[in-house]
């Protein structure tokens, strides 16, 4: 299958850049595994229905409800329970990527096991592995640790509110409540038989929050982390004006392009002189509270250098785009509200690592024989290259369509992990 052939066309530089940033943000959000596990399960505001088979065999239904479908650690899951996590994970994935699904080459109207995710896995294999590794194992790790440590939580109130939200969502979607449960949690799901799974999600969420609180870093640890990652949290105010590279004709020569760049650099130097002379320059505008990733990449290190003083001004040329900037420093500052963000992030990292150790001890036994991904050899680093997976292809396509190189975000892989806050169930 050709990956990402149905691609959205972005008409402007702004649209392309926003699309690229949005896609990266979506991926980062999805990759916050344990921090989002309960949110994945308990989010039912939007539903993308996965085609559910018609159940006509009573025996098959009884097996799905009562037989062991897969064993994970000491936990024996029925097909009903596995589907609950699988359908929740897939729906969340599709809703997360939204309009970028076309980039991924995924057709939600076609069986997932008939579509390749990469060279070795189908989309069904990928979703099965995601369900086990990113949903079921972390949930059970939390539940097992909660039980071992005597943690209890009454999820009745949460569950009642959730049921009310499910009913509202079904009404808004114009479907019956029973159809809604089947579409979102699998063909065997009903309001009553998934109640325990939903409550387990709230118990796991409550215990996770307790662990995060128990593992809060000290003030000194927060300060140390900030000092080591200042560019991820500091902000600057600065003034700038851009002399952008024009759209050249296809037959434009290197000499013509070089002459254009030279002219724009001369313009920028003239503007710099005017500003230093105290003249008003149209288009020389103030940007406030910009992070390192959002300023022109060619000026980022300069702007965030501790040696900067108010009024410092310089001309910069972007190596990727040949855009030319006049940039004047105003001030650099740190919002102390980020202390809480850093604290939460560090605590979450600690807890996630602890829970991952528990989850890694769970052996997966494919009792029914439906989890084909377990028989696929692990791909080595040498075997994997950019663009091998559907997600890689999507990112490559988005970047090709829209990368501008104008900001530090365009030339930096990502900001420090502390920029992400915990996204738990609401």
Three-state SS at 306:
coil
- Please report which confidence band the pLDDT of residue 43 belongs to, taking 50, 70 and 90 as the band edges: low
| Residue 165 CB neighbour total at 10 angstroms | 15
Q: Which of 5-14, 45-54, 351-360 has the highest mean pLDDT?
A: 351-360
With a cut of 70, say whether residue 215 has pLDDT above it: yes
Closest CA to 308 of 275, 292, 332: 332
Closest CA to 72 of 400, 374, 402: 374
- Please report which confidence band the pLDDT of residue 7 belongs to, taking 50, 70 and 90 as the band edges: very low
With a cut of 90, say whether residue 363 has pLDDT above it: yes
| Residue 61 CB neighbour total at 10 angstroms | 15
Task: Report pLDDT digits (tens) over 245-302.
Answer: 999 999 999 999 999 999 999 999 999 999 999 999 999 999 999 999 999 999 999 9
- What is the predicted pLDDT for the residue at 351? 96
Closest CA to 332 of 314, 310, 312, 315: 310
Poorest-pLDDT segment among 139-143, 163-167, 403-407, 412-416: 412-416
pTM of the model: 0.72
With a cut of 60, say whether residue 36 has pLDDT above it: no
CA distance 394 to 104: 5
- What is the predicted pLDDT for the residue at 23? 52
What is the maximum alpha-carbon separation in the chain?
Answer: 87
With a cut of 90, say whether residue 377 has pLDDT above it: no
Closest CA to 134 of 95, 103, 90: 90
Per-residue CA distances from 91 to 49, 102, 237, 279, 329 (Å) = 7, 15, 41, 57, 46
CA distance 327 to 158: 52
Give the rounded percent of residues in the chain with a pLDDT score beyond 90: 69
Structure tokens at 141: 């790790």
- What is the predicted pLDDT for the residue at 334? 97
- What is the predicted pLDDT for the residue at 58? 75
DSSP states of 129-196: HHIIIIIIHHHHHHHHHHHHTT-----HHHHHHHHHHHHHHHHHHT--HHHHHHHHH-TT--TTTTHH
- What is the predicted pLDDT for the residue at 30? 41
- What is the predicted pLDDT for the residue at 42? 52
Strand bridging mode 364-365 / 324-333: unpaired
Question: pLDDT: is 262 or 99 the higher one?
Answer: 262
Q: Which long-range CB contacts under 8 A does 178-184 form with residues at least 24 apart?
A: 180/47, 182/52, 183/47, 183/49, 183/50, 183/52, 183/87, 184/44, 184/47, 184/49, 184/87, 184/88, 184/91
Q: What is the mean pLDDT of residues 43-67?
A: 64
Query: Would you list the domain boundaries of the chain?
Result: 13-217+338-419, 235-333
Q: What is the mean pLDDT of residues 297-312?
A: 97
With a cut of 80, say whether residue 57 has pLDDT above it: no
- What is the predicted pLDDT for the residue at 32? 45
For 235-333, CATH number? 3.10.50
- Exposure on the CB side of residue 32, measured as CA atoms within 13 A: 22
Q: E strand or H helix at 263, and its extent?
A: helix 254-276
Q: How many helices (H) and strands (E) does the chain have?
A: 17, 7
- What is the predicted pLDDT for the residue at 100? 86
With a cut of 90, say whether residue 243 has pLDDT above it: yes
- Please report which confidence band the pLDDT of residue 358 belongs to, taking 50, 70 and 90 as the band edges: very high
With a cut of 90, say whether residue 174 has pLDDT above it: yes
Rounded to the nearest integer, the mean pLDDT of the chain is 83
With a cut of 70, say whether residue 332 has pLDDT above it: yes
């Amino acid at each position: 299958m050709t990956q990402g052939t149905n691609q959205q066309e972005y008409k402007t530089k702004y649209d392309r850049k926003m699309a690229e940033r949005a896609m990266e943000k979506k991926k980062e959000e999805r990759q916050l595994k344990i921090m989002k596990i309960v949110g994945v399960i308990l989010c039912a505001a939007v539903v993308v229905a996965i085609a559910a088979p018609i159940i006509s065999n009573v025996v098959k239904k009884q097996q799905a409800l009562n037989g062991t479908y897969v064993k994970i650690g000491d936990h024996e899951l029925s097909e009903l329970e596995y589907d609950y996590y699988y359908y929740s994970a897939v729906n969340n994935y599709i809703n997360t990527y939204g309009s970028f699904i076309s980039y991924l080459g995924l057709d939600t109207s076609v069986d997932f096991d008939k579509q390749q995710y990469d060279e070795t896995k189908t989309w069904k294999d990928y979703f099965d592995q995601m369900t086990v590794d990113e949903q079921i194992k972390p949930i059970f790790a939390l539940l097992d640790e909660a039980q071992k440590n005597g943690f209890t939580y009454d999820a009745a109130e949460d569950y009642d509110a959730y049921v009310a939200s499910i009913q509202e969502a079904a009404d808004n979607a114009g479907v019956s409540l029973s159809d809604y449960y089947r579409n979102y949690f699998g063909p065997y799901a009903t309001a009553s038989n998934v109640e325990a799974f939903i409550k387990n999600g709230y118990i796991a969420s409550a215990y996770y929050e307790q662990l995060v609180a128990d593992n809060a870093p000290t003030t000194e640890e927060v300060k140390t982390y900030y000092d080591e990652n200042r560019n991820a949290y500091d902000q600057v105010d600065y003034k700038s004006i851009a002399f952008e590279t024009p759209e050249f004709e296809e037959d434009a020569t290197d000499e013509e392009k070089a002459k254009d760049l030279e002219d724009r650099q001369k313009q920028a130097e003239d503007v710099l002189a005017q500003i230093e002379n105290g003249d008003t320059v149209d288009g020389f505008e103030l940007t406030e509270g910009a992070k390192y990733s959002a300023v022109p990449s060619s000026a980022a290190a300069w702007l965030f250098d501790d040696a900067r003083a108010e009024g410092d001004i310089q001309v910069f040329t972007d190596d990727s785009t040949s855009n030319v900037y006049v940039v004047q420093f105003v001030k650099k500052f740190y919002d102390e509200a980020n202390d809480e963000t850093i604290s939460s992030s560090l605590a979450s990292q600690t807890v996630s690592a602890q829970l991952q150790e528990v989850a890694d001890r769970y052996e997966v036994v494919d009792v029914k024989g439906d989890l084909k991904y377990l028989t696929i050899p692990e791909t080595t680093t040498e075997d994997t290259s950019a663009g091998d997976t559907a997600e890689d292809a999507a990112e490559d396509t988005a970047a090709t369509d829209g990368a501008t190189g104008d900001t530090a975000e365009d030339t930096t892989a990502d900001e420090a992990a502390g920029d992400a806050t915990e996204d738990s169930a609401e």
